[in-house]
Amino acid sequence: MSKELLSGLEGRYRIGAVAKMTGLSVATLRVWQTRHRVVQPSMSEGGQRLYSEQEVKKLALIKGLTLVGQPLGLIAGMDVAQLQELAHKQQLLTASPKPQAHESLKMLQPSSQKAWTGAQDKSLCLVGSGLYLRLNALRFSFALAQVNLQLHQESDLPPLLKKLEGRPSNATHEASCYLIKLNSTNAESLKDLKALRELLPGARIAVLYHYALAHELQGMRSLGLEVKRDTLLGQEMLDWVMSLLLTDTQAELQEGSQVEKIGSPNQRLFSNEALAHFAQIDNSLLCECPKHLAQIIEQLASFELYSLHCLSTSPQDEALHASLHQVSSNCRALLEKSLLQVVQYEGLELPDFREVQAQGSLGLAS
């Protein structure tokens, strides 16, 4: 697999590029060098500062730590590993940020509470055009600086598949996650994704797409792929990448988002027209139970449909919405049975809605 790291020209960056990558001003970078000796960049023949990757990562870590109250004078002399450990001790990797925390500290998918044994070593394989520049702009954020990250690039799925097919049978996939960019999906790309999943059955695979049909998205999800439409801004993209890196395997992801499975959605008993009919007719009961039951059932049916199509931003969201959909379906089914008891007790006739009957029921929803 390609070992090309997204490391700039010979792993050296000029001060203007470092300022953009870390969010520190050029003036601050100069002060941190001359007064606090945070880093000591080399100089080009033309007298320009050239920062190494480790120096840029150190600057990103120190910036983040100072934002949560660490004195610059106490941490300026630490190396990258010590700064990563300090970030871990402050639970920047294991806790959600407080509302007032700077957005650069925002991270999703909490990591484990295990004792510090060194920064996590992660590798991310980028497949497709455009991802190189986007990740190159994010990799020196405070969040990614807390991970020892290697980035690999592949031009497209077919070359990646060819390399994976040619590896030894006992070889393991070397990337923690595979992030694939698809402008649009088609039968050929879905075939390639299926082949990738067969070659990497336990790998974390995510797809960023522009356009896809509903059945194509369903096909990708059925393969255990995580999919997002390519509308992510910088911070949103960073959050997603961090969530992909901090959980290695699909099994771990499922373990973290396990929601009790209740069963299949229940078929509707009453149509909306039938519910409206029962809500308005007179009855011999000295209460308005039929009316209230019909209204509650209609509201539950609406929420049931809403939860089915509700926007999910992660597999955990999707699992939660699936659970909400199932629970609302169960509640609606129970109340429909109660309403049917009332209808039978009252001897009421079911409304004759021909359109509903054509779907296979007599005044009831199909």
pLDDT tens for each residue of 149-178: 888 889 899 999 999 888 776 665 578 899
| 188 located within any domain | yes
Residue 28 lies in a domain: yes
Q: Which range (159-173, 316-330, 341-355) has the least confidence?
A: 341-355
pLDDT at 262 over 50: no
The reply to whether 293 falls in a domain is: yes
Nearest to 55 by CA among 38, 74, 30: 38
pLDDT value at 98 more than 60 = no
Q: Which residue has the higher pLDDT, 129 or 206?
A: 206
Cα distances (Å, whole numbers) of residue 352 to 284, 363, 364, 365: 22, 5, 9, 12
Q: Are residues 206 and 295 in the same domain?
A: no
With 60 as the cut, is the pLDDT of residue 244 above it? yes
The predicted model gives 205-217 an average pLDDT of: 90
- What is the percent of the chain where pLDDT is above 90? 25
pLDDT digits (tens, 9 = 90+) for 41-85: 999 888 899 999 899 999 999 998 998 888 999 999 999 999 988
Domain's final residue, options 223, 256, 289: 256
Residue with tokens 């109660």: 338
pLDDT category at 327 given cuts 50, 70, 90 is confident
Look over the chain and give the mean of its residue pLDDT values, rounded to a whole number: 76
Mean pLDDT of 199-227: 90
Q: Could you tell me if 226 and 247 are in contact, meaning their C-beta atoms sit under 8 angstroms apart?
A: no
CB burial class (10 A; 0-12, 13-18, 19+) of residue 136? Answer: middle
Range of the domain at 300: 272-357
Q: How many domains does the chain have?
A: 2
Q: What is the largest CA-CA distance in the chain?
A: 97
pLDDT(366) > 50: no
Whether 234 is covered by a domain: the verdict is: yes
Query: Do both 229 and 145 map to the same domain?
Result: yes
| Same domain for 104 and 180 | yes
Question: Stretch 229-241: mean pLDDT, rounded?
Answer: 85
Exposed, middle or buried, 275 (CB in 10 Å: 0-12/13-18/19+)? Answer: buried
Closest Cα to residue 243, out of 61, 107, 148? 107
Instruction: Round to whole Å and give the CA distance between 296 and 170.
Output: 58
- What pLDDT score was predicted for residue 27? 95
- Confirm whether 364 is domain-assigned: no
pLDDT at position 118 is 67
Q: Which residues contact 285 (CB under 8 A, 6 or more apart)?
A: 342, 346
Tell whether the model's pLDDT for residue 364 goes beyond 60: no
